[in-house]
Structure 1
Amino acid sequence: MEQTVIIAFEIIGTLAFAISGAMVGIQRKMDLFGVWLLAVITAVGGGMTRDVLLGNVPPVMFRSPVYVLVASGTALIVFAFMYFQRIPFRENERVRKVYARVLSAFDSMGLGMFTVVGINTAVNMGHGANGFLLVTVGVITGVGGGILRDVLSASTPVVLRKQVYASASIIGAVVYLLLRPMMAEFMAMMAAVAVIMILRVLAEHYRWNLPVADKDKKQEKPR
């Protein structure tokens, strides 16, 4: 049962991150290959980084290509939908806002799913007693793919500028570790994912940000 739940979380996280990666590629006016590459990198990049750090080589993405296939299929569907719909999100302010919210929603879902999946992978490899390692691996799994996506799309990584992004992953990882001994595995995973997604929604709505040293006095007013 536990393994089935973890696989389900991995597939859902892969779908969510693949959608966000494909949407970023489309937003950056990339061609089909670029959109596909960003979708796959976003979906499997964090897990690949995690596996290398834990010595789990070759990474799971090469031993079980189902994740790359899921990400690839998702990228093609998103690309085809946007291509044939010809949605003018660059010219229409309302469409741009909806696009940004959908992108943020899938990105937050992937972040939550992969944070707990990363922790489970480390636990299954015998690192269950090392809380610091578990949180670190969970966060790397959650944010790694997004960092690679942003680097490839010539953007400052979201984790370095977005409202409470990596911080939400850290908090969710800690919540998961605290809840694991107290309740069923599935419930603990769902609770941690919910915490991460709620934090991301609140951060987007209220524009919660970590402080910066060189603050722009003319930055936009809060929504």
Structure 2
Amino acid sequence: MNIDLLIEIMNLIGDVAFAVSGAMTAIEKRMDIFGVCVLSIVTTVGGGMTRDVLLGILPPIALQDPLDIGVATVVACIVFIWAARKKHLDQSQSPITANMLNISDAIGLGIFTVIGINVAQSHLEDAHAFILIVVGVITGVGGGALRDVLSGSIPYIFKKHVYAMASAVGAIAYVVMDDLVGVAWATILCAILVIAIRLLAAYYRWNLPRIHEIEEEIGSNTEP
């Protein structure tokens, strides 16, 4: 399996997925078409640019090759037109937009987590597992975190249905599986793993413990 071709295909799929995620978030926040495009671009390239700066890849890959930004812009415009035709601009958190956001976000998270590790491996000699895992997670969640900050929301990574943890599990699995099944299969299987965890967490509403939930549970256990 040609790993370079695989990465290019997965990167394109990830671009589209995160672009949809950013565009749908902007539409829910009632932004104009410029805001939709900007949020789509930030979601698509934000994690990768953060990764590149940390790895010393300057200028970042997204600025060396306009493909990622171009794809994000085109997808943002398509989503904006679709939403306008379907009159979703006047509906907040409709089932369609919520499902699109969850699915596209999960796909982007899984793909960019493993792509981040691949980039780190190609630019760092003998990078140890910790660096690869951290870089993978940053690449996966970075764009979504910037999207949420710019749209005025608490980032998913701090509150929403096992988000960053899904990326971390996939990154760890990649590091473990790389030597066992090879880079190509590790890339595919671990991306699927992240996507599956993220979607299952959203469907079943899995969350990490939060203080108010712990306080409510303690209170209910102490009531007579």
TM-score in terms of structure 2 length = 0.91
Deviation at 1:119, TM superposition (A): 0.2
Name the structure where helix makes up a greater proportion of residues.
2
Give the equivalent residue in structure 2 for 1:188: 186
Q: In structure 1, what is the Cα distance between the partners aligned to 2:119 and 2:90?
A: 39
Matches within 5 A, 1:73-222: 73-87=74-88, 90=91, 96-215=94-213, 217=216
Question: Is 1:9 the equivalent of 2:10?
Answer: yes
Question: Is 1:20 the equivalent of 2:18?
Answer: no
Deviation at 1:176, TM superposition (A): 1.0
Q: How many residues align?
A: 215
Q: Which moved more, 1:97-106 or 1:30-39?
A: 97-106
1:84–1:188 distance in 2 versus 1, CA, 3 Å: same
Q: Report which of the two structures shows the higher radius of gyration computed on alpha carbons.
A: 2
- The answer to whether the 8 A contact 2:52-2:58 is kept is yes
1:101–1:127 distance in 2 versus 1, CA, 3 Å: farther
Question: Is 1:72 the equivalent of 2:70?
Answer: no
Q: Which moved more, 1:185-194 or 1:147-156?
A: 185-194
Q: In structure 2, what is the Cα distance between the partners aligned to 1:187 and 1:24?
A: 32
The one-letter code matched in structure 2 to 1:153 is S
Give the equivalent residue in structure 1 for 2:31: 30
Q: In structure 2, what is the Cα distance between the partners aligned to 1:97 and 1:10?
A: 27
CA RMSD, Structure 1 to Structure 2 (Å): 1.7
Unpaired segments ≥5 residues, structure 1: 219-223
**Deviation above 3 Å: which 4+ runs of structure 1?**
none
The one-letter code matched in structure 1 to 2:61 is V
The one-letter code matched in structure 2 to 1:170 is A
- The answer to whether the 8 A contact 1:127-1:134 is kept is no
Q: Which moved more, 1:183-192 or 1:131-140?
A: 183-192
Deviation at 1:131, TM superposition (A): 0.5
Q: In structure 2, what is the Cα distance between the partners aligned to 1:19 and 1:5?
A: 21
TM-score in terms of structure 1 length = 0.92
Q: In structure 2, what is the Cα distance between the partners aligned to 1:90 and 1:77?
A: 18
